[in-house]
Structure 1
Amino acid sequence: MLELYTDRLRLRTVTPGDWGNFLYTHSSEQLNEFVRKPQSESVIREKFERVLENRQFCEGEWLLTIIEDAHTQDFIGFIGLQNSDAEMGQMQVGYMLHPSAHGRGYASESLQAIIDWACLSYKPHKFIAYCIEQNIASTKVLEKCGFKREGLLRENCKIGEQWFDDCIFGLLAAERG
């Protein structure tokens, strides 16, 4: 079981007891505004079961962790790391925080923690993040953690019936702060 700590946060492996928070974050219209249209509970349950089964960090797989308050164990959100291209040493990052945790620096703190852990454990060359252009808060988190906008993928993300442009951000492991 993975456990990472910062001064305020604990990042840990997802357990069966996390179902309620997983369901909430994946079905909330507000939280998924820049990600996807909320899916049915059965589809979300299937995703949750895959997360629980995925204990190998193989190429193409996501390692999803819970972000919680290190002192109270209150749920803050999720942060994930994908081993997107082992040969090229590339990992993708993504995160989603509960609305009550927005604006408190938790996203950047947890992102920095998982990047540091990945650098020590896997020695990647580069981290990549996708963020639709309208998601200003996520852009600020990425930039705070040293990511640089490397390009724009036009109409790369479809949410409902609407297409959005994706910004692609990169962070070379050698340049991390």
Structure 2
Amino acid sequence: MLELYTDRLKIRSLQQEDWQSFLSVHQDPRQNQYVRVPDGLEVLTDKFEQRLRPWRYESGDWLTLVIEEISTGEFIGFTGLYSVDLSLGQVEVGYMLAATGQGKGYGTESLKGVIDWACLSFDVHKFIGLCADQNQASIRVLEKCGFTHEGTLRHNYLLDGRWIDDRYYGLLASERS
């Protein structure tokens, strides 16, 4: 089981007992307003079961990690990554915090921890972050972690009948602070 630690957070592998937290975050329309229309129970069950399987960097699958507050054990949210292109050393990162974990710097702290671990564990050249143009909180997390806005993908996906522009961010491993 993978366990990473930051000043305030424990970041660990997803486990079976995380199902209720996974379901709660992934079904909450407010949490998903910039990401997706919340999936149904069957789709989320399949997604959860897939993410419980042993993960390999080269698989192209998401590594889903649970974020917990060390002092209280409180569930904060999820973070993770996947290898977009092994030959180019490109990794996409992501995070989704529960409402109770937002606005406290946990997104930034957990993402920095995952980036540091990935740099030490794999041959990463570049980290990629995508977020909806309207998602100011996610934009702040990426920018606080040193990511540079490299462009906007206009009308990149359709969400509940609305076209969403995605901001494309990049961070070279050599640039991380």
Letter of the 2:77 partner, please give it.
Answer: G
SS at match of 2:58: coil
Give the gaps of 5 or more residues in structure 1: none
Q: Which runs of 4+ in 1 moved over 3 A?
A: none
Partner residue, 2:74: 74
Deviations 1:27-75 (A, max 9, x none): 0001000000011111100000000114222242111100001122110
- Please name the residue that 2:46 is paired with: 46
Which residue of 2 is the match for residue 93 of structure 1?
93
- Tell me how far apart the structure 2 counterparts of residues 71 and 100 of structure 1 sit (CA, whole Å): 15
TM, length-normalised to structure 1: 0.98
Q: Distance in 1 between matches of 2:47 and 2:149?
A: 29
Letter in 2 for 1:85: D
Aligned pair 1:123/2:123, yes or no? Answer: yes
Q: 2:17 is aligned with what amino acid?
A: G
Structure 1 letter corresponding to 2:151: G
* Root-mean-square deviation (Å): 0.8
- Given that 1:61 and 1:84 are in contact with CA atoms closer than 8 Å, whether structure 2 keeps it comes out as no
Whole-Å separation in 2 of the counterparts to 1:124 and 1:25: 29
Give the counterpart letter for 1:90 in structure 2.
Q
Matched residue type, 1:143: E
Say whether the 8 Å CA contact 1:132–1:157 is kept in structure 2: no
> What TM-score do the two structures reach when normalised by structure 2?
0.98
Letter in 1 for 2:111: L
Q: Per-residue CA shift, 1:82-129, capped at 9, x if unaligned?
A: 111110000000100011111100000000000000000003000001
Alpha-carbon distance between aligned partners in 1 of 2:54 and 2:40, rounded to the nearest angstrom? 21
In structure 1, the partner of 2:154 is 154
Per the alignment, do residues 148 and 128 of structure 1 end up closer, same or farther by CA in structure 2, a change over 3 Å counting?
A: same
| Matched length | 177
Equivalent position of 1:114 in the other structure: 114
Of stretches 35-44 and 51-60 in structure 1, the one that deviates more from structure 2 is 51-60
